[in-house]
Structure 1
Amino acid sequence: MKDNLIKSIEKMIFMLICMIALTGVGYVKTAAAISDDHIFKTIDFKKGEKVTIPIRPGKTGVYCIQFTKVCFSGTYSWYNQEHEAIIENSSLYGDDFRWIEDFYMVAGKTYYIEFNPAEDIKATAELSFVSADMEPEITVYNTENDERYFEEEILENTIPGINWDKKNRKLVLDSVDGPYNIRFGGNRNYYGPNYDIKDFDKLIDVTVEIKGENKLSIKGGTSSFWWAIETAGPYSLNIIGDGTLDVLVGSNGSMISGRDVVIDGPTINFEFDGDFERYREYICAYRNLEIKSGTIFAELRPRFMESSYFYRTEYYLYYEVFRADNISFENTNVIAYYEDFPSDYEGAVYAYGIFYAYNDINIKSGMIFMVANEKVINAVDENAKRITDLYAKESICTCYEDKINISDNTLIFKGKPIDINNFDISLEQDEYKYDGKAKTPKVIINGLEEGKDFTVSYEDNVKPGIAKVTVKGIGSFWGSKKLKFIISGRENTKEGNTQSYDGIHGLQLSSIFDDGKLIYKVTKEGTLDGKTAGKVTVIGLKKKSLKKVSVKSLLTVNGVKYKVTAIGKKAFKKGKKLKSIVVAKNVAKIGKKAFAGCKKLKSIKIKSKKIKKFVKGTFKGVKKTCVIKVPKAKKKVYAKKIKKAGFKGIIK
């Protein structure tokens, strides 16, 4: 009895402590638990009186919770089974008719919704089952006129260039041009259901393939935040392809965002559309950002700020390009172009690094260009050191946990202007056939624009020969680089022509000639002064009646020497009377089906020791009675390779 009395006193003391605690935070009451498709009674909500509703779903999936015939105001929170907050103190949005939210929940678990109304209200609450999964549904929003395209319309190819494969969760963008925001949400709700990431063993993959040249113009519409491509759910966003995506920025959203984001392959350009001050990163992952390959160009414009965040009342601020908990980066070129702040401004400037992470940044390889004036670079350095206390090289990164690794395989360039020779520069096409017209191949410098960042001029680009291209940096870039391309053709590319085409070289590249027995093609030009020997490939028989062929090591045409380095594909195919072939010492390659159809062939003598591979099918049609003789020093190696290529005869 004494023990019971002590327990009663302890219980009373505990209840008293709880009551005292509750007076400080507002009274909390718990409503009856609800489950699948259960309509429970009207609840009287009192201002400042928190109400917690436990929810125990009978099956896994998305549930809709709605309160009808009420005008809501106040906040709500959502907790998982461990009472960890998934949503905390979010505003209650409603109207005179209902407040509605979707939640993904797992059978067997208990979830809690806590309401903190700002007024006395009565509401009828209903829980209804919506869907058994969190499969992504695509919505495209026209940010210019606020028109929305839902999945049913997109599946009918309503928008040219946007193709959605729902089964494989793959979106293909092929030559799209419009003011579109693309969002992957869950089920019927544009913003996607609320969910607890702990309820998923792995994220659901969503793929976006970039083909051709695409342009998304993000105008902003009637909303302050719009994105180019975004996922709203437990999804991993994978952006792949070899195309180009230009994003014209006219809003403050993260242009590409998701819980996990992977970028592998495409060229992505972020440029401003009009006079817009930006204060968000371009690519954001709420957890992991992995950049595997491609090129990313980002135009960064400073925003004039009036606050005391950086211990100043006024300053210009540049935001980062990438933001995530964890960032992995490799095999990618990044060009961060920092617009200058007003020239007459003498106040403070602050800037984050190109990469911003909470946990760690791992940069394995690639080229990173910070195109900025000295004051901006110093601002980035100082801000990085203020947060992470790192050296200047690492100031391209801002990381609160100081876990930054930049491999020696990474090239980093800072300044304005930057030497254009630091970029990978190529031509869209490097060989043309002569037709009497000027050839002007497009110069490709991923991330840079001709006319704005560099100029192009051409020389000797009409007649056959070697044409020259000069690329010069302008604006924020300096220096020049010369490229070459070939114009082949004219009369001396015709069979039988053996004249010099420029007074320096002998036969032009790709010229075709013969020596009376065999037909050759020039694969490397030789010079008349004898300093450079050319190269040729045997491509056929001039005389089909030949019984014996001896491929020479060296030819001389008009005083120019040419090494015979290869026997081309199907070179002797029409030699139905051939009985013996000798392959000289300079031949390093024999093409597929080179001896095909030589049914009377009795011997092939190979003098060359330079052949690394015999292609399968080289000896197709050659009878078993044929004998192949090879150099003694190469017999073991050659015999194995020749047999592998399909020859079934004798090898000596």
Structure 2
Amino acid sequence: MKELRKIKIFVLVAFAAIGIMTSKSPVNAELASSSYERPYDMEINKECGFEIRIKTNNNYVVKFSPDKTGVYNFNYYLSCTEQQDDKKYISLYYYNGNYDSIRYGNLEVDSEHKDSMYCVAGHTYYVVYCRYNTSNTFNIDCAVSYGGDIKIEPELNCSEYYDGPLIDLNQRKGVKFDNNSRTLELNNYSGDGFYFCVELKQNYLICDINEVLPKDYGITIILKGKNIIKAWKDSANIIGADEGISLKIIGDGSLEWEDTTDIRNDQWYYPSDYYASIVSGKNLTIDGVKINSIGITAPGEIYIKSSDLHLSDMVKSGKELSISNSKVVVENTLEDGSAYTLDSTNIQITGSDIYLKSNRASALIYSYETCMLKDSNIHLISEAFIPYGTTNSRDLISTNNIDISNCDFVVEYLDDNKVNNSTEYMLHNLIFSAYGKFIIKNINLIIVANDSIINAIVDEKDDADNKFEYVIFEKLYYQDVYDVNMSTVKIIKTSSYDIKGYNLKLKNDSYNYNGEEIKPEVDLNGLMEGMDVDIKYENNIDPGKGRVVITGKGKYTGKVVFDFVIKGTKPSAGDKTFNNVAKKGTIISDGKYKYKVLKTGSLDGKSIGKVSVIGFKKKSLKKVSIKSKLTINGVKYKVTAIAKKAFKNNKKIKTVVIGKNVKKIGKGAFAGCKNLKYIKVKSKNIKKLLKKSGYKGVIK
């Protein structure tokens, strides 16, 4: 180390005794986790040497902004110049420019230590030296040298759990893994979990893995059939990926977590990435699958599309949480569970059923920036009373900017015995809370609670500060925008759980006979099928009068019955000819869409017809779902095409799902559909055709 000292520049620090001899103030742990410009004590950008003397319990931060890409060697020697106790080391941390930890370790007294870090020119890194719980004075001598540029070679590995032994995926029954495409297929798999990580062949290097992996680097997981994964020992992870690796879970199967550890009842349990069932190292996409697990977390974006999720803890995203056309149930029943059931910087929910429950009084939906809820049913269950003087968020939906439209809410409170008084308990303050933009239009809100809570509810108030009132909409004097159109807001306050008073209704009460079961869609006004009510159908195949029976479930009681009509004539059993079936070129309908017959089918099922979708029969639809097969008037057809200009200039359409039998899409089929943002394609080789259809959005 003596030779290395010849190139050093001296920066002496005696924090407590003589002050700091640098232009920046030292950083502490609180500042290090903030989002603004990081404080630092010294800045370097190339080969150099420096010496640091640390005399108090504090951090010393070196900002490193290299002028060349390559490997930089940090050669250390630590000495103890004033020994007051037996502690003989300090802690050492390497961070990237976002202050995400890259590596940490210790420097031992009277020993040399070398760290080699791969750095990218123009990027920022921080090296933090920490002295804790000691009265000793330490001297750090460091020389930084450039070792040249090298080719970084990452290698994908998999183990059963974080930092566990590596496994051969293809040795497991029900598992196929293609390393080239990074695709994992689970087909009725039952067994241990999967944790993916990237190791460098140059394993001695300290490296920010996000700098060496492609931005879209990730694992695609295809679910087929029913898959059951066991949690490993003291962790609840079933599928995980290390930093820099995104996960995409698709298919038509399901995934369940088998609790063999009883981890959520462990006295040390605290919700985190370590205990979430599905953990992504970057972004996470869940599309078209059914998942039953503890929680889901990712440091980046989370996209949940056309899926059915039942979780027992939380969904946590570091950047954006987007839920579309999905059912998401989160039942957090632990006293010490996660503070929020949905947690992200930005939250966007469209066309979905959301059921969130917590035994604790806290924000169920929490976003740091924006919360946008559109065309969804949202059921929130929480305690209404919290201990007096509580400083945590007391609002069910808490964000900076809120934008809600065309949603049905049920807000249900669990409290039956607590009293609203000034010494023990106080009410939650708000249902909706926003300090920036506050925009709410066209919502139905049902509040279910005991009479003491109902009597304390105030619909709208300026600057609510009474701890013993429950305000639904609060207008703050410092809000950027307050736009709550009360004429479009319908509020029901009730202590009854009888569903007869919940304004349930059928969305359509007349259908055309098609030879298949007809299940009319029910507007549940925020209640959730399977959780709050069960729905059964009677006489719903043949022409005549059908019936929908809705029965309360759990706390919900009562029964609501609706009748609907099935129009048309059922073909006689002996009619096996083509005489009463639609000929080629005929326009037919299933009640929602109009079709042109491309090939005539037969009533006996020996000949399957073919049809092309030519447009809507029911023009109020916002979602287009084109089936792969259908039956009209007893004849089976494959849907093989979407006609020219079929949905042109339709401004109501928001999402489209195209069945697997569609082979042709006519020119301009989706031209001018300004609100169409997403098309899911189940048919192969037609993505190129969508470009000719006039659609320019996302295709999956």
Query: What's the TM-score once normalised by structure 1's chain length?
Result: 0.48
Query: What's the TM-score once normalised by structure 2's chain length?
Result: 0.45
Please identify the structure whose Cα radius of gyration is greater: 1
The structure with the greater share of residues assigned to strand is 2
